[in-house]
Structures are given as C-alpha cells and as structure tokens.
Amino acid sequence: MIHVAGTNGKGSTIAMLRGIYEAAGLKVHADTSPHLVRYNERFYVAGEEIGDAALVAILEDCERVNGGVPITLFEITTAAAFLAFSRSPADVLLLEVGLGGRFDATNVVEKPAVSVITPVSMDHMGFLGDTIEKIAFEKAGILKPGVPAVIGPQDPAALAVIAARAAEVGAPLYRYGQEWNVAEGGDGILFSAGGTTRRYPKPGLLGAHQIANAGQALMAADLAEKPVPSPEGARAKGIAEASWPARMQQLQDGALTEYLAPGSMLWVDGGHNESAGAAVAAILDGWAAEPGALPVHLLFGSLNTRDPAAYLRHLKGRAKRLYVMPIPGEENSLSEDELMDGAKRAAMPAVPVKTVQQALRDSQKKSTPVRFLICGSLYLAGHALGISSGG
C-alpha cells in the first residue's frame, strides 16, 4: 500500500504509479477523489472502475453495518472502497488522502509500504489552517513509525514541519533535492537516488510540474521494490503513458468539440489553487513560444473556498480572453459577481457566461483558431467532461 497526501500532484503521482505497476503486470487497486463525472471513478478495483451493481451492493453493506450512525460522504466512500478492495485480490493499493491527512478517513491504515507527501501549498484554509506550517502539519499526520516517506518539492517552512513530525514518529525521509532529485534531461528526465542516476521518458502528462510528480512516483517505486517489484521497462512505460483526466487534458472529440472552429484546440484542467495557476501559466508560456502559437481563451470557475484572484493573477497577460461562470449544480460555487470581482482584482477583463457552450460559441464566433482552456476547478472540469461525453 502506498498512501499519498499533499496539496498538488496527488492524483498525477498515483496515475504514474498505477501505470508503472500495471506495466509490470500487477493488479492495482486505487482510491482517489473527487470524481469528475461518475461516482464510480473513485473505486478502481483490480484494474477496473467498479460497476454500478457492485458499487450499490458495497454501499448497502456499509450502510447496514453503520446502522444509521452519522457519517460523512467521504467516510462511507472510504469504507466502501476498503470493502471492495478486500473482496478482490490485487498486488498494490494506491490510496489518496481526501483532505489534510491527520484526521482523514484514509489514515486508518496502520503500516503502508510507503507514504508520499506531494507539494504542500495554501488550500482548504478553513479546514487545515491559515499558514503553510499548519497545513503541512495536517499533511504530515500520515507519517508512520518505520514507514519511509517520499517528500516532494516543498516550501522550506512546510518541509521543516514535515521533517519535525518525521523525527517525532521515526519515519525515514526521502526528500526532493536531498535524498532524491529529478530534472529534465534532453528528451527525457534524469532521476537520481541512492548514488545512481537513471534516465526515463518525459511524463505523458503535460506540464513541467509533472516532472516532480514523476520523481515522486519513481522514488516511491524504489522504496516499495521489495514487496512489489517494478522493472525499469515498466517504470519507463508507466511514466510515459500515464493519463489522468482533467490534468491538462485535450478533448479531441465529444459534444464540446463541435463548437470549435477549424484549427482550434480544447483543453480541460482541474487545478484549483494558486500553485495550480502558476503551473498553468508555465504551460501557457510554452504554448506562446511555439511557432504559429494560437491565442488563448479561458473559461474559469471556482468554489467559494478559493480566492479566484490568487489563481488568475498568474494568467494575466497570457490569455487574450477570459470567460467566467458559476459551476452548475455546485452550491459552493462562486457566484458570477464574485468571479467578476476576482477577475477585476487580478486585473483581467472578463466576460460572464451561463454555460460552457455559450463561452465556446462566443469564443469561436469569428471562426479564428484558438486554444480554449476550461480551468479553475475539478468540479468545472467534471461538468465540462460530462457534457463532452454526453453524460
């Protein structure tokens, strides 16, 4: 079992680990959240998304045992995942923390093979605290005595808190930039650990930040090598071919692409905090440097637990047009007025819209090719993917 906490990159790291182990011929369970389109997505059982009938049966079993005691959606989801996993054999379980770590429902696991803490940044401040140190303390709550911990790139203040907690519980640390490193190298990446440097393909997931996520996955695979071996060829294949919905995902077909002018491109990204905004900005800079670069149009939405201006400030000057819309069906979505205010504070003129389709129609009314990116929230990304798939 590999237990993954952190603010950014949890899902991508798990996607690469899943790719590595499946390329090695192993059966994998994975428990991830939130879902984008279907609740079933959270339950990856022995290499397949759980079916409707099996999921209903598992949830009914959990509800019966719970006996009406108050329980959150995430808690019963986690219990259902563990029950589903217990009924189907697999070689590896990849377990993603839902919120924080210390009090997260997934933290009932007593001794995973490896713990991973991906980069920590400001997010969920109402639940985890209003400083990077407080948030890091909650994430470090997954560290266990004697269980090696892979630590991704961190703010120095966050790293100090994580290191102190690791020393307190006796968890060996494998820190980015110290016990391991990863960097771009020519047409691939160079991963260094244990006195050796190995070359792997660039991640199949788009963005420079995915190189660090690949390093986290590779270090975790190194530490888990004894119970679950993964040959070098499987690691290379897993890194290169990993996919993860709504992480700079290009939509090349589906209902929404019908709105595109010839030559336009449609992308979806679910990153939702300030660090995610910086990662998107780096990708937009890469696009702008390409020969014949297309103008970028953005559709942005966000939950009311986020500061939209903190995300959007990174994109100022990088997009020709910004649309904003409340996320349909999300009671915690920022309103149109709040989104417009966030855009104003980020010094980005914005156009309010009611639907994804309206934004695409307006963007494409001159039939000029653009890169159109839907961004700012996993929930907005999921809404767009649902429309695209006809769900």
**Residue 278 maps to which CATH number?**
3.90.190.20
Token duo for residue 212: 């660090």
| Residue 166 located in a structural domain | yes
Task: Write phi, then psi, for 309 (nearest 5 degrees).
Answer: -65, -35
| Residue 43 located in a structural domain | no
Quote the CA–CA distance of 302 and 273 in Å, as a whole number: 9
Handedness of CA 184, 189, 194, 196 (dihedral sign): negative
Check whether residue 135 and residue 222 sit in a common domain: yes
Which candidate, 74, 72, 101, 81, places its Cα nearest to that of 3?
101
- List of the chain residues with pLDDT < 70: 124-125, 391
Task: Write phi, then psi, for 223 (nearest 5 degrees).
Answer: -70, -25
Task: Write phi, then psi, for 327 (nearest 5 degrees).
Answer: -80, 120
Strands 92-96 vs 2-5: parallel, antiparallel or unpaired = parallel
Contact 280, 371 (CB under 8 A): no
Handedness of CA 314, 316, 320, 325 (dihedral sign): positive
Check whether residue 114 and residue 219 sit in a common domain: yes
- Name residue 245's amino acid: P
Contacts of 145 (CB under 8 A, 6+ apart): 169, 170, 171
Check whether residue 336 and residue 359 sit in a common domain: yes
Contacts of 241 (CB under 8 A, 6+ apart): 19, 23, 204
- Residue linked to tokens 């915690």: 332
Check whether residue 160 and residue 237 sit in a common domain: yes
Check whether residue 339 and residue 282 sit in a common domain: yes
> 315: phi > 0 → left, psi -120 to 50 → alpha, else beta; which?
alpha
Continuous H helices in the chain: 10-23, 52-66, 73-86, 125-128, 132-139, 156-169, 209-223, 232-241, 274-288, 308-312, 336-345, 356-363, 378-389
Check whether residue 189 and residue 167 sit in a common domain: yes
Check whether residue 232 and residue 350 sit in a common domain: no
Specify the pLDDT at position 391: 64
Quote the CA–CA distance of 355 and 388 in Å, as a whole number: 13
Contacts of 134 (CB under 8 A, 6+ apart): 128
* CA 137 from centre of chain: 20
Neighbours of 157 (CB within 10 A): 13
Specify the pLDDT at position 123: 75
Check whether residue 266 and residue 197 sit in a common domain: no
| Residue 234 located in a structural domain | yes
Count of domains in the chain? 2
DSSP-assigned beta bridge partners for residue 29: 93
Helix or strand or coil: residue 192?
strand
Helix and strand tally (H, E) in the chain? Answer: 13, 17
Q: Residue 34, preceding bond cis, omega within 30 degrees?
A: yes
Instruction: Show the domain range for 120.
Output: 2-26+91-241
Which CATH number goes with the domain that contains 8? 3.40.1190.10
| Residue 383 located in a structural domain | yes
Contact 78, 103 (CB under 8 A): no
Quote the CA–CA distance of 373 and 391 in Å, as a whole number: 20
| Residue 115 located in a structural domain | yes
Check whether residue 7 and residue 102 sit in a common domain: yes
Helix or strand or coil: residue 207?
coil
